[in-house]
Amino acid sequence: MKFLISLAFKNLTRYRRRTLITAGAIAIGIMMFIMVDSMLRGAEYESVRNLKWYETASARIYNSEYWEKRYQMPLDINIPDYKEKVQKLEKNGYKVTPRISFSGELILNVIDFGEDGSMSIKVTAIDPQKDSDVFHFNDTLVEGRFLKPGEDGILIGSWLAEDIGAKIGAWVTIVTRGNGGFYQSMDLEIVGILNCPNPIVNRNLLMMPISTASDYLEMEGAATEINIKLTDNANVKAETAVIKSLIGNNNLSVYSWEDLAFDFLAVLEADRGGSNMILILIFIIAAVGISNTMLMAIFERTRELGMMRTLGMSDSAIRLTFMFEAMGIGIIGSIMGVILGICINFYVVNVGFDFGFMLRDIDIGYRIQSVMRGAWNFDTAVIAFFAGIIITTIVALLPTRRALRMDIPSCLRS
Amino acid sequence: MIKIDKVIKNYQNGETEVKALRGVSLEIQKGEFTSIAGPSGSGKTTLLNLIGCIDKLDLGEISIKGEKVSSMNKKEKTSFRRQNLGFIFQTYNLIPVLSAYENVAFVLSLLDVSEKDVHTRTMNVLKEVGLEGMEDRKPAKLSGGQQQRVAIARALVKDPEIVLADEPTANLDSTTGEDILKLMKSMNEKLGTTFIFSTHDPMVMDYAGRIVLLHDGLIKSDKNRR
């Protein structure tokens, strides 16, 4: 065995350039594996964070009947006297904020927008003083100022602002139906532009003060939802049960962010499947490279192989020699790949890649607006390292088996 | 020691069937220094391959040391070769990444020999073939004659009773070739090892104690020159 290992490693130095090129192919495969995995994990982590920070919060209370009709955003299926519930939850240490969500028509005028027009919109009425307890919109302001309670002002997402040519100080009209079905129109001044890292939100974001919306829509102290922030390590299921018992109202239901973002999670699952396919492809490409190298190495040494077999070396010992040789390439490639992967991951984690040009117009499911950053995962490096060695070693079996099928006189004649 | 009985071996070369051996019968005794001679295509290498258990015969029987090697399976033949036969090739077939010492010791690593014994036996045999002091040289740093000496050492290191050599001097100049033959002859006389070598070179045949002349797959003559 010692001799076989020694022979295998000496053979590695025989064609140094080829060994290095093949190890390089494995290294690139492993580096790609580490990088792609890091980016996927980073994208997943950032998406979940952006989802909770700008879209779903950690959990949300709705009227029990609201869930079925949530896409129509009915104002009459609401949480009455929301302030009482908010206070109760706050007393118990929860960070909460009420919201009213409604749909309407945004009317654009020729003076401020260059031409007359309208578009369907979704408006979120927030409590400017409490919203930042749960969401993080305050940090995303790029122009103007944040909302003040009771004002006829509105905040707009930067992408939506770009699309309609909105400027600070411009006036928009929102036509909607109030609580009870009456028509209502509101003239609101754009007071701020937010650049929200969540692209879905940034594409459609319109926010106004809850007190203003409440007056216009005649909500009579009702909100359509109460959003709750939980700590990162909270057990969301357990917490939602506690919240449910605290609000003590059978007409209200508590939904976790996973319930609210089930469509995102389904896309994520599909993306994971696709990404795993990419990772498998990377390894198949590396494996084909190794197989080719081993095939060349074995066929160049057919006569040597014939000599070894003539002198009484068993097929299994020959197979082991080539497997050790491939393992050697695998070890070199895996070490190089892990080092390269860690180096490139420093860049991916700290700087990332800007996909803003693509994500601006295409929704890929991830809640990332432009820069995709990676995340460290020690397990991936370990898996990639051992997978590189194991796959390389196994792949060498096929060409060896082929060479061993040749009869000895043919090997010696070659 | 070696009994070859009515051996027939045919090859398929494309659509043509080549009758390499057409009923060869031969007996070789222990300690003989036998040359299988004949022109190209006469069946010399085929006969050596069959005696060396690296090829299958179509008909007939070969026994070595009383064992019917022709009816052994692949594993048994491998084991038999490992234990009993030494081989010398025309093109030396040394492993280029190994030193002269390692090329010889390689054969012992296939057998159950202790590391200490491997060292002693390898050094002794290298000394016997005149390569003392060159143990660490890789084949590329050795001349053709020296490489063939390493190959002879490799064949002899396990003390086989039979050494088969296929045109051992064909790649060497006449002086070096003669040196190699003298070495083989001296080993044959000193150790009593049976040597069977193929050649078509009359100078090489001169060294043989017995010349078996093949022609078109048949034994044309069998002369004992002792």
Q: Do A7 and B95 make contact, defined as CB atoms within 8 angstroms?
A: yes
Q: Note the ipTM here.
A: 0.92
Q: Do A314 and B75 make contact, defined as CB atoms within 8 angstroms?
A: yes
**Minimum Cα–Cα distance from A312: chain B residue:** B82
Domain span at residue B181? 2-224
Q: Do B110 and A11 make contact, defined as CB atoms within 8 angstroms?
A: no
pLDDT digits (tens, 9 = 90+) for B13-39: 888 888 889 999 999 999 999 999 998
Of the CA atoms within 13 Å of residue A250, those in its CB half-sphere come to: 0
Q: Do A311 and B78 make contact, defined as CB atoms within 8 angstroms?
A: no
Question: Hey, what amino acid is at A243?
Answer: I
**Minimum Cα–Cα distance from B154: chain A residue:** A311
Domains in chain B: how many in total? Answer: 1
Residue A90 in tokens: 């706050």
Q: Cβ contacts (< 8 Å) between B93 and chain A: which residues?
A: 303-304, 306-307, 412
Using CB atoms, which residue from B87, B98, B105 is nearest to A311?
B87
Q: Do A14 and B87 make contact, defined as CB atoms within 8 angstroms?
A: no
In this prediction, residue A77 carries a pLDDT of 94
**Backbone torsions φ then ψ of B27, nearest 5 degrees:** -125, 130
Distances (CA, A) of A207 to A22, A74, A121, A230, A366: 57, 17, 11, 23, 22
Q: Do B78 and A309 make contact, defined as CB atoms within 8 angstroms?
A: yes
| Residue A393 near residue A382, CB atoms below 8 Å | no
**What element of type H or E holds B23?**
strand B16-28
Q: Which residues, 6 or more positions from B172, have their beta carbon under 8 angstroms from its beta carbon? A: B144, B145, B148, B180
Q: Do B82 and A312 make contact, defined as CB atoms within 8 angstroms?
A: yes
In this prediction, residue A79 carries a pLDDT of 93
Q: Do A3 and B107 make contact, defined as CB atoms within 8 angstroms?
A: no
Q: Cβ contacts (< 8 Å) between A306 and chain B: which residues?
A: 93
Using CB atoms, which residue from B49, B87, B91 is nearest to A409?
B49
Q: Cβ contacts (< 8 Å) between A303 and chain B: which residues?
A: 91, 93
Q: Do B89 and A312 make contact, defined as CB atoms within 8 angstroms?
A: no
| Confidence at B226, pLDDT banded by 50, 70, 90 | low
Q: What is the CATH number of the domain that holds B219?
A: 3.40.50.300
**Backbone torsions φ then ψ of A107, nearest 5 degrees:** -100, 125
Handedness of CA A81, A82, A85, A86 (dihedral sign): negative
The SS3 of residue A312 is coil
pLDDT digits (tens, 9 = 90+) for B55-64: 999 999 999 9
Q: Cβ contacts (< 8 Å) between B85 and chain A: which residues?
A: 312
| Residue A1 near residue A316, CB atoms below 8 Å | no
- CA distance linking residue A375 with residue A379, whole number of Å: 12
- CA distance linking residue A264 with residue A367, whole number of Å: 9
pLDDT digits (tens, 9 = 90+) for B198-212: 988 888 888 888 999
Query: Closest approach of chain A CAs to the CA of B182, in angstroms?
Result: 23
The two most distant CA atoms of chain B are separated, in Å, by 53
| Residue B16 near residue B192, CB atoms below 8 Å | no
Of the CA atoms within 13 Å of residue A252, those in its CB half-sphere come to: 26
Q: Do A408 and B54 make contact, defined as CB atoms within 8 angstroms?
A: yes
Q: What is the pLDDT along chain A (414 residues), one digit of tens a residue?
A: 788 888 888 888 888 888 888 888 889 888 988 898 898 888 888 888 888 999 999 999 999 999 889 889 999 999 999 999 999 999 999 999 999 999 999 998 888 887 888 899 999 999 999 999 999 998 899 999 999 999 999 999 998 998 888 899 999 999 999 998 899 999 999 999 999 888 888 888 999 999 999 999 999 999 999 999 998 888 888 888 899 888 876 789 999 999 998 888 888 888 778 777 877 887 788 788 778 877 887 888 888 889 999 999 999 998 998 889 889 999 999 999 999 999 999 999 999 888 777 767 677 677 777 778 888 988 888 988 998 899 888 888 888 888 888 888 888 887
**Minimum Cα–Cα distance from A15: chain B residue:** B97
Residue A229 in tokens: 């922030």
Total CB pairs under 8 A between chain A and B: 61
pLDDT digits (tens, 9 = 90+) for B74-100: 999 999 999 999 998 888 889 999 999
B76 CB within 8 Å of a chain A CB: no
The two most distant CA atoms of chain A are separated, in Å, by 98
Closest CA to B83 of A360, A251, A312: A312
Question: Hey, what amino acid is at A371?
Answer: V
Distances (CA, A) of B212 to B2, B61, B219: 14, 18, 7
In this prediction, residue B175 carries a pLDDT of 84
- CA distance linking residue A344 with residue A242, whole number of Å: 44
**What element of type H or E holds B81?**
helix B74-84
In this prediction, residue B8 carries a pLDDT of 94
Average confidence score pLDDT of chain B: 90
| Secondary structure, 3-state, A79-119 | ECCHHHHHHHHHHCCCEEEEEEEEEEEEEECHHHHCCCEEE
Q: Do B98 and A313 make contact, defined as CB atoms within 8 angstroms?
A: no
Residues of A with CB under 8 A from a CB of B: 3, 7, 10-11, 13-14, 303-304, 306-307, 309-315, 317, 407-409, 412
Query: Closest approach of chain A CAs to the CA of B202, in angstroms?
Result: 24
| Residue A276 near residue A20, CB atoms below 8 Å | no
In this prediction, residue A249 carries a pLDDT of 66
Using CB atoms, which residue from B91, B97, B107 is nearest to A311?
B107
- CA distance linking residue A101 with residue A272, whole number of Å: 32
Q: Do A312 and B98 make contact, defined as CB atoms within 8 angstroms?
A: no
Q: For residue B50, is pLDDT > 90?
A: yes
- Mutation target vs A (from B11, B78, B171; most A CBs, 10 A cutoff): B78
